[in-house]
Amino acid sequence: MTNNQKRIHRDDFGEVTISAGRKWGVQTQRSLENFAIGSETMPLPLIHAYALVKKAAAKANHELGKLSLEKSEHIQKICDEILTGQWDAEFPLSVWQTGSGTQTNMNVNEVIANLVNEFLDEALVHPNDDVNMGQSTNDTFPTAMHVSGVLEIEMKLLPVLERFIMTLEELETKYQNTVKLGRTHLQDATPITFGQEVSGWKKMIVQNKQMVEMALEPLRLLAIGGTAVGTGLNTPLEFGGLVAGFISEWTGSRFEESGNKFHGLASKDAIVFAHGALNTLAANAMKIANDIRWLASGPRGGMGEITIPANELGSSIMPGKINPTQAEALTMICTQVMGNNTTVSIAGSQGNFELNAYMPVISYNFLQSIQLLAEGLESFNEKCLSGLQANEEKMLETVQQSLALVTALSPHIGYENASKIAQKAEREVTTLKQAALQLELVTEEEFDAYTDVKKMI
């Protein structure tokens, strides 16, 4: 029934009014009204993954003789439209809803059914009986969580990590012979090359990429076919395998039916594990970004050992000031991911009996972390890392002034004598060489030979 650009529906709970232009139905509208909480809505990658699940379910149900060809093809067509982003505005529900995600499942079911029926101008497809055939929220939501996580990581995060590693490799090669001061405990240490320092950063990201790839494997197992509690009630035995096969075929990514649906419904350990890999990546990204902004500090009152691109003005009051804004953005992202990891970990521990009822918040935080890391690392790579320049003269000057060079004397004159030289140089504000010669512990020729920085790296 339509009234002044509104659709009025009645169900067992009473009357519901929906804007006439909207494609959702009663259950979606009730969720909008009952959970008007926060600004966080269900992530679109999850919605698009849900459309893949519904498309695969429609095709599987037809092949199993459960759904007519006409219904199956129309459902699949609308799912394809959802995958293009055409209907993104029809999925407005809050993350803060039922912990199983039932309202989001019904949002997807209702939009698909209503779009089919609107196209045909007849009530051919039912959201529960047809679009949700052989399914439950309890198996489709975790399936969509896994599919969206795998696709977002493969399509967005891993390519960024590849480019980030390539930039670091170029810097490592370029500065492999550029000597600088090493630092431990934020204090002067023995010399290294800037290329060696960068190689440490590169290894971090290479290893993080391997960790993320390893974490994809448990995510490839899908709970589809388990229906309400894992027994597969009301669905054919072959259904889950067919759905996983179709999703694999259409995405080009490998997915498999889980061998234990009780585990697939009740446990979110695959996402907890995968987010742990993201958390490790965030920890290393934080370290790299902080190293770079320390090394770029100054330019005259800090270390000033590297120069980073000046992308914008850094101050509203101090003309010419340039701040390490890309590093600041990335490190803020890292703190958000670390916070998300706590949320995912706690929520993942709450799989009471046959169902984890914290799935929307797990999915929201997981997908947010993937997006933030992918986009943050891409921005940092393009606008900071790739334009980084070493101030080689400054690096060499800092090494030559460092008292840490005395370490190279220890094998020749002993730790205690070397310590005497360092303490005298520091106390009298003189050079190591002058202190060593005054103490008559080495000759000038010996000192120069022992403290040759190129031999110390």
Of 315, 316, 379, 410, which one is the catalytic site residue?
A: 315
User: How much helix, strand and coil, in percent to the nearest 5, is found in the chain?
Assistant: 60, 10, 30
- How big is the chain, counted in residues? 457
Instruction: Give the C-alpha separation, 382 to 386, whole Å.
Output: 6
Predicted TM-score of the model (pTM): 0.95
Q: Tell me the two tokens of residue 266.
A: 């009740």
Q: What is the DSSP secondary-structure string of 393-422? A: HHHHHHHHH-GGGGGGGHHHH-HHHHHHHH
Q: What's the distance, CA 308 to chain centroid?
A: 25
Of 9, 39, 136, 185, which one is the catalytic site residue?
A: 185
Residue 429 φ/ψ region, left for φ over 0, alpha for ψ in the -120 to 50 degree band, beta for the rest: left
Phi, psi of 303 (to 5 degrees): -70, -45
Contact 384, 309 (CB under 8 A): yes
Q: What is the dihedral of CA 285, 288, 289, 295, to 10 degrees?
A: 180
Contact 216, 271 (CB under 8 A): no
Q: Tell me the two tokens of residue 403.
A: 């008292």
Specify the 3-state DSSP secondary structure of 94: strand
Residue 4's pLDDT is 58
Largest interatomic CA distance in the chain = 103
Per-residue pLDDT of the chain (457 residues; tens, 9 = 90+): 445 578 888 888 889 999 999 999 999 999 999 999 999 999 999 999 999 999 999 999 999 999 999 999 999 999 999 999 999 999 999 999 999 999 999 999 999 999 999 999 999 999 999 999 999 999 999 999 999 999 999 999 999 999 999 999 999 999 999 999 999 999 999 999 999 999 999 999 999 999 999 999 999 999 999 999 999 999 999 999 999 999 999 999 999 999 999 999 999 999 999 999 999 999 999 999 999 999 999 988 999 999 999 988 888 888 888 899 999 999 999 999 999 999 999 999 999 999 999 999 999 999 999 999 999 999 999 999 999 999 999 999 999 889 989 999 999 999 999 999 999 999 999 999 999 999 999 999 999 999 998 888 8
Instruction: Give the C-alpha separation, 101 to 264, whole Å.
Output: 15
How many helices (H) and strands (E) in the chain?
17, 8
Residue 146 annotated as catalytic: no
Q: Tell me the two tokens of residue 163.
A: 């480019």
> Exposure pattern of 323-361 as b/e (b: 16+ CB <10 Å)?
bbbbbebbbebbebbeebbebbbebbeebeeebbebbbb
Q: How large is the angle between the packed helices 269-295 and 194-219, nearest 10 degrees?
A: 160
Contact 131, 54 (CB under 8 A): yes
Residue 315 annotated as catalytic: yes
- Domains in the chain, CATH or no CATH each: 25-133 (1.10.275.10), 139-233+251-393 (1.20.200.10), 402-455 (1.10.40.30)
